Amino acid sequence: MIEQDLRDRILAAPETILEDRDLMQALVAANDRAMGDNVIDLRGMAMQRLEGRLDRLEDTHRAVIAAAYENLAGTNQIHRAVLQILDAPDAEGLLAALAGDVARTLRVHSLRLLLEARVGPETATGPEPALPVSDDRLVLAPPGTVDEMIAGTRGTPDRAVTLRRTFAAAPAIFGSDACMIRSEALLRLDLGSGHPPGLLMLGSEDPNMFKPGQGTDLLTFLGAVVERVIRRWPV
């Protein structure tokens, strides 16, 4: 028998039992056992199915909210990085911003700019561009390097953004940081007619930060800003 004080509390506030899912499930299970195996409670079965659907809907709801917050945080990151890029007064300032403030804002371990250098001091379109060579923030590579680095990944070779995991980042690109890079994002840069393409390369120690299947809209926007800034460099 239920103790009198417990019985009195239940009778005084019966809604507390109705709001407790575990307690209600225990009561329903006890009722099923009391009815025996020859009785099928269709109402109880329907309620179980509805509870299962409700659980799935709640999980979906939480996942959608989490994704929305993550997208908002990612958008804010890219916006801050773009403002830092636009604040750069010249090419040297851009390289310093990319390796410093922008890399920290995007929470990447390494951020490098790769530009393909033309062969020879003169070309059919004019002289070599005045590129600032400043330690390992800028990588000057021979023609065809951009296509070679993107080759082997899914999609067309001229895709704007390539995301992939890596266990052997190129030392010629990431230098001493190469051994720590576990995923990378390659942003192809269109530097205008008559100029070879470039790459903005983001390297992360987190293998899950950049991987195929993730959205690339924000990174595409970031690459578009960088390429427009570079187009203003003197040639």
- Give the pLDDT confidence score for residue 13 in this predicted structure: 83
* CB-count burial class (<10 Å; 0-12, 13-18, 19+) for 166: middle
Task: Return the ∠ at Cα 186 (arms to 99 and 82), rounded to 5°.
Answer: 50
Tokens 């205008």, residue?
192
89-230 has CATH 3.40.50.2000 classification: no
Between CA 104 and CA 110 the distance in angstroms is: 9
Q: What is the spatial distance between Cα 189 and Cα 116, in angstroms, rounded to a whole number?
A: 11
CB 155 within 8 A of CB 131: no
Handedness of CA 65, 71, 72, 73 (dihedral sign): positive
pLDDT of 20:
80
Note whether 164 and 210 are within 8 A (CB): yes
Tell me which DSSP letter residue 117 carries.
Answer: P
pLDDT confidence of residue 58: 86
Residue 226 CA to residue 219 CA, distance in Å, equals 11
Domain spans in the chain, listed from the N-terminal domain onward: 89-230
pLDDT given at position 41: 65
What's the confidence (pLDDT) of residue 138?
84
Q: Which region, left, alpha or beta, applies to residue 63 given φ > 0 means left and ψ of -120 to 50 means alpha? A: alpha
Helix or strand run (H / E) with residue 164: strand 161-165
CA separation for the pair 232, 235 (Å, rounded): 9
DSSP, collapsed to helix, strand or coil, labels residue 174 as helix
Contact of 85 with 100, CB cutoff 8 Å: no
DSSP letters, 65-78, are HHHHHHHHHHHHHH
CA distance 132 to 155: 32
**CA 174, 177, 182, 183 torsion-angle sign:** negative
Tens digit of each residue's pLDDT, the chain (235 residues): 678 887 888 788 877 877 787 887 787 777 767 766 666 666 667 777 887 888 888 888 888 887 777 778 888 999 999 999 999 888 888 989 998 999 999 999 889 898 887 644 454 445 444 444 435 688 888 888 888 888 755 544 556 898 988 876 666 677 777 788 889 899 999 888 888 888 999 989 998 899 888 888 899 999 999 999 988 876 5
Q: Do the beta carbons of residue 135 and residue 152 sit within 8 Å? A: no
pTM over 0.75: no
